[in-house]
């Protein structure tokens, strides 16, 4: 393993966790962000139960994709580590994962309701309704709970493209988001909370509000993320 690259991974994951803590999505020690070095097959993740204000870069825990701590004297990793690992093993195109208990996204998760796509703000970031998982069954709760939570998310995406929908609400729990880096997964979590708030308030104002029409959804999502996207600046400039 390249120790320099793994130190850089720790730094990026630390920065992403501090960004999450400063985003307003977190209370107490809830939430965690991880990132992966695909070449080394190692993730870095927030330690379990340490307040964000007390964390240091060296507290970030390196864990192999098979679940072993790389540095034996490091703190215990987040209790959600096995969920993160399952997502990395299955969604092989992702580079970062964020889990939070942000208010509005968790409201939808607790109500076991997908976040409907009602407008273009949502469509700019998520290609359709943000799905909610089934309720985890008792055998999974009493077994390897965190691993089974990851498998639950994966099953929710059996017929979905995880690259077009970078978020899942775990029923009765909260949101998981992913992206092209640890930092990107935090950005997705921030946007998820924003569109959950918009949907919740729209549904309060008009209980029978309808989803955005498909042509408008396609226009807004694909102009930013499609093969012929034209949002933003040319990379060569």
Cα separation of 61 and 42, whole Å? Answer: 10
From the list 30, 1, 164, 157, the residue with the least C-alpha distance to 106 is 30
Q: Which residues are catalytic?
A: 124, 231
Provide the H-helix boundaries in 73-129: 81-90, 103-111, 120-123
Q: How many CA atoms lie within 13 A of 41 on its CB side?
A: 6
DSSP 33-77: EEEEETTTTEEEEPBTT--GGG--GGGSEEEETTS-BSSTTSPPB
Specify whether the CB–CB gap between 9 and 37 falls below 8 A.
yes
Q: Where are the beta strands (DSSP E) in the chain?
A: 32-37, 42-45, 61-64, 96-99, 167-170, 174-179
Burial, 57: exposed, middle or buried (Cβ in 10 Å; 0-12, 13-18, 19+)? middle
Q: Which residue has the tokens 């993730």?
A: 43
From the list 196, 170, 184, the residue with the least C-alpha distance to 33 is 184
């Amino acid at each position: 393993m390249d120790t320099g690259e793994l130190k850089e991974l720790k730094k990026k994951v630390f920065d992403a966790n501090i960004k999450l803590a400063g985003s307003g999505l977190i209370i107490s020690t809830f939430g965690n962000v991880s990132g992966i070095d695909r070449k080394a097959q190692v993730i870095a993740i927030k330690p379990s139960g340490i307040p964000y204000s007390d964390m240091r870069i060296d507290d970030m825990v390196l864990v192999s994709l098979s679940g072993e701590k790389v540095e034996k004297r490091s703190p215990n990793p987040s209790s959600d580590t096995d969920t993160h690992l399952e997502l990395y093993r299955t969604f092989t195109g992702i580079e970062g994962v964020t889990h939070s208990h942000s208010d509005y996204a968790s409201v939808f998760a607790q109500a076991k309701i997908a976040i409907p796509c009602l407008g273009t703000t949502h469509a700019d970031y998520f290609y359709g309704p943000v799905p909610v998982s089934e309720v985890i069954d008792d055998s999974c709760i009493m077994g390897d709970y965190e691993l089974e939570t990851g498998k639950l998310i994966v099953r929710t995406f059996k017929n979905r493209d995880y690259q077009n929908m970078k978020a899942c609400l775990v029923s009765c729990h909260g949101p998981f988001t992913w992206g092209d880096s640890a930092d990107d997964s935090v950005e997705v979590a921030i946007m998820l909370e924003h569109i959950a708030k918009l949907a919740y308030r729209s549904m309060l104002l008009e209980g029978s509000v309808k989803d955005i029409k498909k042509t408008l959804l396609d226009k807004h999502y694909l102009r930013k993320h499609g093969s012929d996207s034209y949002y933003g600046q040319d990379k060569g400039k």
